[in-house]
A and B are shown apart, each in its own frame.
Chain A
Amino acid sequence: MMLPDPAATGLARVRKIEGDALGLRTPAFAPTEGAGDLLEVSLGPHHPSTHGVFRMDVVLDGERIVRLKPVFGYLHRNHEKLGEATSYLGSMPYTDRLDYLNSMTNNWAYALAVEKLAGIPVTERAEYVRVVLAELSRLLNHTCLAGFLMQDCGCSGTPLMYAFREREKILDLFESLSGSRMMCNVQRFGGCRVDPSAEWLAATRRLVDGYGAFLDEFEALLSGNEIVMARTQGVGRLPAALAVNAGITGPMLRASGVGHDLRKVDGYGVYPRFNFRVPIGRDGDVYDRYMVRMLEMRESIAILDQALRDLPGGPILDPKAKQRGLRPKAGEAYGRIEGPKGEIGFFLVSDGTGNPTRYRVRAPSFVNLTVLEDLCLGHTVADAVIILGSIDIVLGEVDR
């Protein structure tokens, strides 16, 4: 693991893809000569390691995986159809339910897409508040992910409880700001629904100031832990070329050594004003995916520090920005942001009426699952469990 220096972002390590991309598919793991029968096992849908209602159809040769097909859709409620039957504002609370750990970033991505579609400017204060909320959400997501991943590794209890203790502190902040712990429904087109008070900002400042110490403690427990390293290093390697070609985004892409972060690349919101680094991995294995998230949290703390320091006054929402009864001109827009799990995007098509004629959610966990089979071939079932854990999926978003 290493942090790139800001001048060299690691992009040079992206190799050009040559020939047919199907050639990138990991060759099927050859069963051992003279092996016995292959065994087909259905992992899930109700299993703690699958992080929700998710099934892996696994074919085993002894303990080795020779085929793995993810099966999902158990939580499918045709979210996109609901979006087409609802007004633009009416979809905002529904987006909370996609990746239900990160309603803040879901809201932001949707608000950004609508703002692009209708050309709505965002107030300065709201831009900063969005950054604060999104980075808190990133802290929450990565902390929980580390806890879940350790649970998957068989490290029962302690790291997850530590993670959940910190998560609860962030959720308390969300609750006092929005009225809800997880379904926050905070963003509006052109700003935010709520304005953080001075007390709330002071409480957030206290949390941010103390978070580094928690990370030190957490990392002392896990990052150099021999068992964790033996269990995760070299498992589920994802080559950079395949990661880019398969649309992998977020910490999973960066763990493979590609310094691609939409906060830098697109520079949406006010991110260009903040000084932060993009951590990248070297081997693209489960350990790198864990470690990239740990390092990203340090950068989130740096961003929070600057955003809280520079937070301007002024209105949080332009009262003239239309919310109810918004009717954008006929056209389409694709808006995307760097969510904690990767690129979350919304593709909206307007025909000039109050409902979008097409409302599409580009869910990062859904696309990141594309390479699950490639990562698991040749590994054991126990490894498949931690590989799935390191992808960081949320079924509310995969199934939509």
Chain B
Amino acid sequence: METPEALRDRLLARFPGASIELVPNGSPSAQVSFRIGPAALREVACFLRDDAELALDQCSNVTGLDVPDREVVETVKESQPGAPGGPPVVTERKQTRLQPGHLEVVYHLYSVARRQGPVILRARTGNRTDAVTLPSLTPVWRSCEFQEREVFDLFGVVFEGHPDLRRILMWDAFVGHPMRKDYVEPDDYEWEPTPHGDVLAKARRHYPSAAAPGAVQPSP
């Protein structure tokens, strides 16, 4: 199979407007991946599947990654004019900047016909709250159907064009996405006959609409 750099150049030549970027991997596995802009993701996927040389006919693994917001400490240099004739005074100041987080979906592609792979695709959402939509690759590979549902369920990525996007492991009335790094698990209030105190407060936080937490637990 061609080198990742050659494949990236070929993809860029084929999709001139698309954002295609090689993501290095510091591990000895050396499995580099391609970060594709969401706009071109499905076209690139179709190309990779149908290209005679690659023939990536199987999407083996689909998974999500959660990268929370984090504070980055940066050193900023400021120069002010010093004494007349003298050099400018440079002061260094540390400032913290909030780097917004995102959700990422990773696809591991292999070719059964040509026995090669993996080619790894990644796509990022805009943020972790209101811009969490990515195009679904289920129309390209059926194997994404359940796995994208799982990413939707556990990470909260919304896949546009998925034929049946529902929760798959958690129950339908469940609130939240448990694989996110900032997920706070509810207490074992489900088993409290009469929740009270902290347990009740936590249950109310988790299911705000519910007066009694037992009431919003329809049996699946």
Against A, the Cβ 8 Å flags (1 = close, 0 = not) of B45-85 are 00001000001011111010100000000000000000000
In the bound complex, how far is the Cα of B154 from the Cα of A11, in angstroms?
36
Residues B15-29 near A (CB distance < 8 A): 25-29
Let me know if A366 is at the binding interface, CB within 8 A.
yes
Q: How far is the CB of A275 from chain B (nearest CB, A)?
A: 19
The one of B29, B61, B168 that contacts A333, using a Cβ cutoff of 8 Å: B29
In the bound complex, how far is the Cα of B24 from the Cα of A128, in angstroms?
33
Query: With A117-B27, A242-B142, A347-B106 given, is the CB distance from A247 to B179 under 8 Å?
Result: no
Q: Which residue of B lies closest to A328 (CB)?
A: B27
The answer to whether A347 touches B108 (Cβ under 8 A) is yes
Let me know if A167 is at the binding interface, CB within 8 A.
no
**Which chain B residues border A265 with CB–CB below 8 Å?**
115
Query: With A76-B169, A244-B57, A334-B108 given, is the CB distance from A366 to B146 under 8 Å?
Result: yes
In the bound complex, how far is the Cα of B29 from the Cα of A345, in angstroms?
14
Query: With A336-B60, A362-B61 given, is the CB distance from A370 to B142 under 8 Å?
Result: yes
Q: Which of A248, A249, A328, A370 gathers most chain B CB within 10 Å?
A: A370
The answer to whether A332 touches B142 (Cβ under 8 A) is no
If over half of B's interface residues share one DSSP class (helix, strand or loop), that class is named, otherwise mixed; here it is loop
The one of B120, B142, B179, B220 that contacts A245, using a Cβ cutoff of 8 Å: B142
**Which chain B residues border A38 with CB–CB below 8 Å?**
none
In the bound complex, how far is the Cα of B58 from the Cα of A244, in angstroms?
6
Q: How far is the CB of B129 from chain A (nearest CB, A)?
A: 20
**Which chain B residues border A258 with CB–CB below 8 Å?**
112
Against B, the Cβ 8 Å flags (1 = close, 0 = not) of A48-84 are 0000000000000000000000011100101011000
The answer to whether A22 touches B29 (Cβ under 8 A) is no
Query: With A119-B28, A334-B108, A366-B146 given, is the CB distance from A72 to B169 under 8 Å?
Result: yes
The one of A21, A347, A358 that contacts B141, using a Cβ cutoff of 8 Å: A21
The answer to whether B28 touches A118 (Cβ under 8 A) is yes
Let me know if B193 is at the binding interface, CB within 8 A.
no
In the bound complex, how far is the Cα of B163 from the Cα of A366, in angstroms?
18
Q: How many residues of A contact B (CB 8 A)?
A: 54
Q: Which residue of B lies closest to A74 (CB)?
A: B220
In the bound complex, how far is the Cα of B154 from the Cα of A81, in angstroms?
10
Q: How far is the CB of B86 from chain A (nearest CB, A)?
A: 45
**Which chain A residues border B106 with CB–CB below 8 Å?**
347
In the bound complex, how far is the Cα of B25 from the Cα of A151, in angstroms?
48
Let me know if B200 is at the binding interface, CB within 8 A.
no
The answer to whether A76 touches B143 (Cβ under 8 A) is no
**Which chain A residues border B58 with CB–CB below 8 Å?**
244-245, 247
Q: How far is the CB of B31 from chain A (nearest CB, A)?
A: 6
The answer to whether A78 touches B178 (Cβ under 8 A) is yes
The answer to whether A358 touches B178 (Cβ under 8 A) is no
**Which chain B residues border A283 with CB–CB below 8 Å?**
none
The answer to whether B139 touches A20 (Cβ under 8 A) is yes
Q: How far is the CB of B144 from chain A (nearest CB, A)?
A: 8
The one of B27, B61, B113, B118 that contacts A11, using a Cβ cutoff of 8 Å: B113
Query: With A247-B58, A260-B112, A345-B61 given, is the CB distance from A80 to B179 under 8 Å?
Result: yes
The answer to whether A349 touches B65 (Cβ under 8 A) is yes
Residues B127-147 near A (CB distance < 8 A): 138-147
**Which chain A residues border B139 with CB–CB below 8 Å?**
20-22
Q: How far is the CB of B178 from chain A (nearest CB, A)?
A: 6
Q: Which residue of B lies closest to A400 (CB)?
A: B169
Let me know if B170 is at the binding interface, CB within 8 A.
yes
In the bound complex, how far is the Cα of B150 from the Cα of A156, in angstroms?
36
**Which chain A residues border B118 with CB–CB below 8 Å?**
334
Let me know if A308 is at the binding interface, CB within 8 A.
no
The answer to whether A370 touches B146 (Cβ under 8 A) is yes
Q: Which of A260, A347, A400 gathers most chain B CB within 10 Å?
A: A347
The one of B61, B146, B154, B171 that contacts A334, using a Cβ cutoff of 8 Å: B61
Q: How far is the CB of B171 from chain A (nearest CB, A)?
A: 7
In the bound complex, how far is the Cα of B23 from the Cα of A330, in angstroms?
13
The answer to whether A245 touches B29 (Cβ under 8 A) is no
Let me know if A160 is at the binding interface, CB within 8 A.
no
The answer to whether A73 touches B142 (Cβ under 8 A) is no
Let me know if A222 is at the binding interface, CB within 8 A.
no
Let me know if A371 is at the binding interface, CB within 8 A.
yes
In the bound complex, how far is the Cα of B154 from the Cα of A78, in angstroms?
9
In the bound complex, how far is the Cα of B169 from the Cα of A139, in angstroms?
30
The one of B25, B115, B154 that contacts A331, using a Cβ cutoff of 8 Å: B25
Please, could you name 11 A-B residue pairs with CB atoms under 8 Å apart, sorted by A? A14-B57, A14-B112, A25-B142, A72-B168, A80-B154, A245-B141, A246-B145, A258-B112, A333-B27, A334-B120, A370-B146
Q: Given A22-B138, A246-B145, 11 more contacts at CB 8 Å?
A: A14-B112, A17-B57, A72-B169, A73-B170, A81-B178, A117-B29, A245-B58, A246-B142, A249-B60, A331-B28, A362-B108
In order of increasing CB-CB distance, the 6 nearest A-B pairs are A247-B143, A331-B27, A119-B28, A333-B29, A246-B142, A73-B169
